[in-house]
Amino acid sequence: MPNDSRYKSLLERKLRECEDTISKNSIETAFLFDQHGELIFEKKGNSGTVRFSKKELSQMHGNILTHNHSYNILLATYGIHSVFSESDLHLAYNQKPCEIRMVIGDERHSFQWTHANKVDANHFLKQLLGIEAGAEAAHKKIDARLYAQKYKTHEEYLIAEYTTIKKYADRAIKFFDDNSNIGYIFKKEVV
Ligand SMILES: [Zn+2]
C-alpha cells in the first residue's frame, strides 16, 4: 500500500483505517485493538455514547481503544470540534488501556496516562468536570431559549448551540495543554 510509510506500525495503520470509516458517522462506534494490531472487538453505540459490558471493560487493560464522537456537518462548517468526554477519561483512568483515541471529522485525538497517581488523576478529572458542568449549564440556557421560542430560525439556535460547544471544547483543550505535568500525553492532529 502506498501510504504504509506514513504510519509507524501495522497497529497505527489499522487504527487509522478504522477511524477513517467512522470519523463522519452520526452514531458512535468503538474498536479495541491489542498492541500487535489484532482487533479484540467492535461495538456500536448511539449518538452520545458507546456502552461497554463488564467483560468488554475488563478487556481494555493495556490495549488501545479508539472511537468516534458523533459528527454533524453544520458543526464542521463552523469549525467546531469535540474533546474527550468525562467518561472517556474515567475509562482511561479506571481500565488503563495504554491509549484512548477519538476521531471526529478531520480531527484525531489521543490520550495516554504516563505516571499519573490517583490524587493527580482525581484532581485532573474534577477540574475537567467543572468545565463540563459549565458547558451543561450553558446548554440548558440555550435550550430554555429554544422552548421559549426566542430563536427566529433553527439555524440561529444551532449557531448558539455550537458556539457554546466550541467555547467549552477550546477551554478543555487548553486545560489539556496546561496540565500535562499531571502525567499524561494528549495529542491532537488535524488530518
Ligand atoms: Zn468519547
The residue-averaged pLDDT of 107-113 equals 94
The residue-averaged pLDDT of 108-126 equals 88
What separation in Å is there between the alpha carbon of 164 and the centre of ligand 1? Answer: 18
Q: Residue 32 forms beta bridges with which residues?
A: 41, 65
3 or 105: whose pLDDT is higher?
105
- For 127-154, write each residue's pLDDT tens digit: 888 888 888 899 899 989 988 889 999 8
Measure the CA–CA gap between 169 and 132, rounded to whole angstroms. Answer: 9
Given a cut of 70, whether residue 2 has pLDDT beyond it is: no
What's the pLDDT at 64?
A: 97
- For 19-37, write each residue's pLDDT tens digit: 999 999 999 999 999 999 9
What's the pLDDT at 79?
A: 67
What's the pLDDT at 85?
A: 85
Nearest by Cα to 70 from 87, 45, 91, 89: 45
Q: Quick check: helix, strand or coil at residue 101?
A: strand
For β-strands 184-190 and 99-104, DSSP reports them as unpaired
What separation in Å is there between the alpha carbon of 69 and the centre of ligand 1? Answer: 6
Given a cut of 60, whether residue 4 has pLDDT beyond it is: no
Average pLDDT over the chain reads: 88
What separation in Å is there between the alpha carbon of 25 and the centre of ligand 1? Answer: 13
Measure the CA–CA gap between 11 and 147, rounded to whole angstroms. Answer: 47
The residue-averaged pLDDT of 71-84 equals 74
What's the pLDDT at 1?
A: 46
Residues with CB under 5 A from ligand 1 (ion): 85, 88
For β-strands 107-113 and 39-44, DSSP reports them as unpaired
Label residue 67 exposed, middle or buried (CB < 10 Å: 0-12, 13-18, 19+): buried
Of the chain, the percentage scoring pLDDT greater than 70 comes to 93
Phi-psi region of 67 (alpha: psi -120 to 50; beta: other; left: phi over 0): beta
The residue-averaged pLDDT of 113-124 equals 86
What separation in Å is there between the alpha carbon of 3 and the centre of ligand 1? Answer: 27
What separation in Å is there between the alpha carbon of 145 and the centre of ligand 1? Answer: 28
Of the chain, the percentage scoring pLDDT greater than 90 comes to 47
Measure the CA–CA gap between 43 and 130, rounded to whole angstroms. Answer: 29
What separation in Å is there between the alpha carbon of 143 and the centre of ligand 1? Answer: 23
- Fold category of 4-127+180-190 in CATH: Cytidine Deaminase; domain 2 (3.40.140)
